[in-house]
């Protein structure tokens, strides 16, 4: 029988038939897909025809469709709904996939054909998009080591394979720590917790079958616990468990893995002629150099640290007023910051949270997309990979645009964080295909599910990524959707967060879970006035992580990453009561793969642009100005990686931005 993963899917919009797929289907499907892809690549490389754009570059674009189907399905479920079988398959697949793609990138006959097309590019009468695809293809093969020979070529393959194994191990160790740890709570242990946190820890206890409420290491549970629990001893225990992920000295310890990853990345960069990995990685980003990244981060670090230190002094006085000796500790910050927020802004999260229902925030994100881009969302009743998931058909003017899937709730089988991925990306070649886009979050379950304001921002953020995929309008899949420079890819997502702050959006969609009434104007004003509250803390914890990431890669690989981390933080004079947002042993952005390695700064690089880009709407006719929305879609959301990122931004805004808009937006300008 034909493996279901390789069959023609007669499902709505050819979405994976999750109800017909078993874990036993993945390995045999991968075997066939890899062999099919190898056959396609060999046919291109060994062709007797003279190399041309169609028989080389377009042929590469058309290859691997079976592999795309298998991997698109597999990595969707392993990230969001893992189990021991899937984890075992992932450990097996990762080095095999690395070896497969390393074999392709080191295929000398194939690279010779690509280079021949590249050398003849001025005589081929290519479109601008074809020129871009050709340039990126040639550059990617060179950067993958296609020009290496002999021992260097063999070593590059070894490095890629080992990095794939290590990245998988890092991810699975982190998932294991997050899944296995929880802290049981008795009734007296829930002192100070508002109803929405009590509901969340009870639901977590049911999910864990613990027989009592529990605090887990899900951010949507542990942060509210740190904000409201009056039990300082339990806050300390929970915080230490949270920050010790991947560093418990057991089989899930990630510290040696991180050290080996950094060493291999350095060797990889050296083989390609670069001084270090940061120089290699940043060459293709907007930033271009480690110096440019460091300049941006330090321009923000000093005002952020100054604000954080001033806030820490105030919070420590509150601690002492409670009769507690000793300095303000990291497990105290959230608690006293929440109390101070209530005092300064008459804002209590327990009062605010009922206005941020998950379903209403989904509606808000859809409504903004409709007003800006004419998109409409109709629920789909189709089998998905988990009962928590839901799906919508996205249309415009009656024409199908995409399928959007939302997977919003935390569970033990899902890795932490929030992300957007495409099971299928938009393309017109070799045939037209519309995108299937997924947003995955880790919100606490409830009835109804209630979000914090930060949770709501996360929902809008990930939906901004989804719009980048859904509105893509290019010919070739390799430059579709979010296939842009890493420090540009966060622009659409961070920009979309601004629409959550639009008063008319909150007035319409921030309705109370019990009464259905709109948020009172005074409370809405307080929510918006507090948007930059605690921004010194938030900026310091982020920038510290970004600078540690940069220093890991901009120079010799440290033998002991934890010592290097400590040295960087000491040099920055990191405030005592603030920890890195992502310490090394659980810094999945950097160590689960190469995506954000030397690139965690990119959120802030994009924020420089998003603050300036939203100002363009404010300078026009407001947040729903139709001309600016059309320009945003034309120059950024629809273009994928079809042009240089800086040129795309200048086409939208007319110039590149400076850091001033970011500092103003974070309330740090003074």
pLDDT in tens, 131-180: 999 999 999 999 999 999 999 999 999 999 999 999 999 999 999 999 99
* CA 643 to chain CA mean position, Å: 22
Gap between the Cα atoms of 537 and 330, Å rounded = 11
Q: Residue 349's pLDDT is what?
A: 87
Task: Return d(Cα 251, Cα 174) in angstroms, integer.
Answer: 11
In terms of C-beta density within 10 A (0-12 exposed, 13-18 middle, 19 or more buried), how is residue 211 classed? exposed
Contact, 557 vs 262, CB < 8 A? yes
Residue with tokens 């959550």: 500
The β-bridge relationship of strands 182-184 and 214-216 is antiparallel
Instruction: Spell out a b/e string for 64-74, using b for 16 or more CB atoms within 10 Å of the CB, else e.
Output: bbbbbbbbbbb
- Do 223 and 229 touch, CB atoms closer than 8 A? no
- Angle, helices 84-105 vs 150-180, to 10°: value is 160
pLDDT of residue 225: 98
Grouping H, G, I as helix, E, B as strand and the rest as coil, residue 438 is: strand
Q: What does the alpha-carbon distance between residue 609 and residue 605 come to, in Å, rounded to a whole number?
A: 7
Residue 288, pLDDT above cutoff 90: yes
Contacts of 101 (CB under 8 A, 6+ apart): 160
The rounded Cα 241 to chain-centroid distance in angstroms is 23
| Confidence check: pLDDT of 122 > 80 | yes
CB atoms inside a 10 Å sphere around CB 313: 10
Contact 161, 102 (CB under 8 A): yes
Cα of 290 vs its chain's centroid, Å = 21
Rounded-to-integer distance, Cα 329 and Cα 336, Å: 11
Instruction: List, for residues 406-420, the tens digit of each pLDDT value.
Output: 999 999 999 989 999
Owner of token pair 């519309």: 434
User: What are the tens digits of pLDDT across the range 413-456?
Assistant: 999 899 999 999 999 999 999 999 999 999 999 899 999 999 99
Rounded Cα distance, 569 and 566, in Å:
5
Angle at 528 between CA 524 and CA 530, to 5 degrees: 115
Which helix H or strand E contains 294, and what residues bound it? helix 290-321
Q: What does the pLDDT average to over 470-482?
A: 98
The pLDDT of residue 660 is 86
Residue 542 has pLDDT above 70, yes or no: yes
* 594 C-beta neighbours (distance < 10 Å), count: 18
- Half-sphere exposure of residue 101, counting CA atoms within 13 Å on the CB side? 14
Whether the pLDDT of residue 1 is over 70: the answer is: no
100 burial class (0-12, 13-18, 19+ CB within 10 angstroms)?
Answer: buried
Q: What angle do CA 312, 586, 207 make, to 5 degrees?
A: 95
Q: What is the mean pLDDT of residues 64-81?
A: 97
The interaxial angle of helices 219-228 and 232-243, nearest 10 deg, is 150
Q: Are 4 and 17 in contact (CB under 8 A)?
A: yes
CB atoms within 10 A of CB 50: 11
Q: How confident is the model at residue 76 (pLDDT cuts 50, 70, 90)?
A: very high
Residues labelled as active-site residues: 462
Q: Render pLDDT for 637-664 as a digit per residue (tens, 0 to 9).
A: 999 999 999 999 999 999 999 888 889 8
Query: 386 in helix, strand or coil?
Result: coil
Decide: 506 and 544 in contact? Cβ < 8 Å: no
DSSP state of 1: -
Instruction: Report how far Cα 173 is from the mean position of its chain's Cα atoms.
Output: 19
User: Which residues lie closer than 8 Å to 13 by C-beta, 6 or more apart?
Assistant: 393, 400, 403, 434, 436
Distance CA 503, CA 498 (A): 11
Q: Are strands 399-409 and 436-443 parallel, antiparallel or unpaired?
A: parallel
pTM of the model: 0.94
Do 105 and 144 meet the contact criterion of CB atoms below 8 Å apart?
Answer: yes
Q: What is the pLDDT of residues 325-348, one digit of tens each?
A: 989 999 999 999 999 999 999 988
| Percent of the chain whose pLDDT exceeds 70 | 100
* CA dist., res. 604 & res. 635, Å (int): 21
CA–CA dist 30, 86 (Å, integer): 13
Q: What is the pLDDT of residues 218-246, one digit of tens each?
A: 999 999 999 999 999 999 999 999 999 99
167-186 burial code (b ≥16 CB/10 A, e <16): bbbbbbbbbbbbbebbbebe
What pLDDT is attached to residue 669?
A: 85
Question: Counting every residue, how long is the chain?
Answer: 670
Tell me, what's the pLDDT at 665?
87
DSSP code of 192?
Answer: T
Cα separation, 483 vs 648, in Å, equals 13
Residue 124 clears pLDDT 70, i.e. is over it: yes
pLDDT in tens, 486-537: 999 999 999 999 999 999 999 999 999 999 999 999 999 999 999 899 999 9
Q: Decide: 490 and 602 in contact? Cβ < 8 Å.
A: yes
Report residue 384 as tokens.
């998905």
**Residue whose tokens read 């499902």:** 11
Average pLDDT, the chain: 96
Q: Which of 653, 577, 563, 579 is nearest to 611 (CA)?
A: 653
Cα(111)–Cα(139) distance, rounded to whole angstroms? 11
């Amino acid at each position: 029988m034909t493996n279901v993963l390789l069959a023609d899917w007669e499902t709505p919009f050819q979405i994976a038939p999750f109800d017909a797929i078993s874990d036993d289907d993945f390995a045999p499907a991968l075997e066939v897909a890899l062999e099919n892809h190898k056959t396609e690549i060999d046919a291109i490389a060994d062709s007797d025809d003279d190399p041309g754009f169609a028989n080389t570059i377009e042929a590469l674009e058309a290859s691997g469709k079976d592999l795309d189907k298998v991997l698109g399905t597999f990595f969707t479920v392993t990230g969001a709904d893992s189990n021991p079988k899937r984890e075992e398959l992932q450990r097996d697949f990762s080095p095999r996939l690395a070896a497969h793609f390393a074999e392709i990138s080191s295929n000398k006959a194939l690279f010779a054909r690509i280079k021949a097309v590249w050398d003849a590019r001025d005589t081929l009468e290519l479109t601008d998009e074809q020129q871009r695809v050709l340039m990126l293809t040639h550059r990617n093969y060179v950067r993958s080591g296609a020009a290496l020979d002999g021992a260097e070529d063999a070593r590059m393959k070894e490095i890629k394979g080992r990095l794939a194994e290590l990245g998988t191990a890092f991810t699975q160790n982190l998932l294991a720590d997050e899944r296995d740890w929880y802290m049981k709570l008795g009734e007296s242990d829930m002192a100070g917790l508002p109803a929405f946190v009590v509901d969340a820890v009870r639901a977590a206890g049911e999910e864990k079958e613990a027989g009592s409420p529990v605090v887990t290491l899900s951010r949507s549970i542990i942060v509210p616990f740190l904000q409201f629990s009056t039990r300082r001893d339990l806050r300390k225990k929970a915080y230490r468990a949270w920050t010790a992920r991947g560093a418990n000295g057991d089989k899930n310890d990630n510290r040696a893995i991180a050290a080996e990853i950094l060493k291999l990345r350095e060797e990889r960069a050296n083989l390609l002629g670069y001084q270090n990995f940061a120089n290699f990685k940043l060459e293709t980003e907007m930033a271009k150099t480690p110096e440019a990244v460091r300049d941006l981060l330090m321009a923000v670090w000093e005002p952020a640290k100054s604000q954080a230190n001033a806030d820490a002094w105030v919070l420590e006085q509150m601690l002492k007023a409670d009769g507690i000796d000793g300095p303000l500790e990291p497990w105290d910050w959230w608690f006293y910051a929440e109390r101070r927020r209530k005092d300064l802004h008459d804002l209590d999260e327990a009062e605010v949270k009922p206005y941020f229902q998950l379903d209403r925030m989904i509606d808000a994100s859809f409504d903004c997309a409709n007003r800006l881009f004419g998109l409409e969302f109709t629920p789909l009743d189709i089998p998905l990979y988990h009962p928590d998931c839901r799906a919508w058909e996205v249309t415009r003017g009656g024409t199908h645009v995409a399928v959007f899937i939302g997977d919003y709730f935390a569970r033990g089988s899902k890795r932490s964080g929030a992300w957007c991925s495409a099971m299928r990306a938009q393309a017109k070649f070799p045939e037209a295909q519309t995108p299937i886009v997924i947003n995955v979050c880790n919100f606490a379950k409830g009835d109804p599910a209630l979000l914090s304001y930060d949770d709501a921002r996360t929902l809008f953020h990930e939906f901004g990524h989804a719009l980048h995929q859904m509105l893509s309008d290019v010919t070739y899949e390799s430059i579709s959707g979010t296939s842009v420079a890493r420090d540009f890819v966060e622009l659409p997502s961070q920009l979309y967060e601004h629409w959550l702050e639009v008063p008319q959006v909150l007035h319409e969609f921030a309705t109370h879970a019990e009464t259905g009434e709109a948020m009172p104007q005074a409370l809405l004003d307080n929510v918006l006035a507090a948007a930059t509250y605690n921004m010194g803390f938030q900026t310091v914890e982020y920038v510290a992580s970004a600078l540690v990431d940069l220093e890991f890669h901009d120079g010799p690989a440290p033998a002991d990453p934890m010592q290097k981390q400590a040295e960087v933080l000491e040099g920055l004079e990191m405030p005592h009561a603030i920890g890195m947002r992502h310490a090394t042993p659980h810094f999945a952005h950097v160590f689960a793969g190469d995506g954000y390695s030397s690139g965690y700064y990119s959120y802030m690089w994009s924020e420089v642009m998003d603050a300036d880009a939203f100002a363009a709407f404010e300078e026009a006719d407001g947040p729903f100005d139709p001309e600016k929305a059309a320009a945003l879609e034309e120059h950024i959301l629809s273009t994928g990686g079809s042009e240089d990122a800086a040129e795309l931004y200048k086409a939208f805004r007319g110039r590149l931005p400076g850091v001033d808009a970011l500092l103003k937006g974070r309330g740090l300008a003074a």
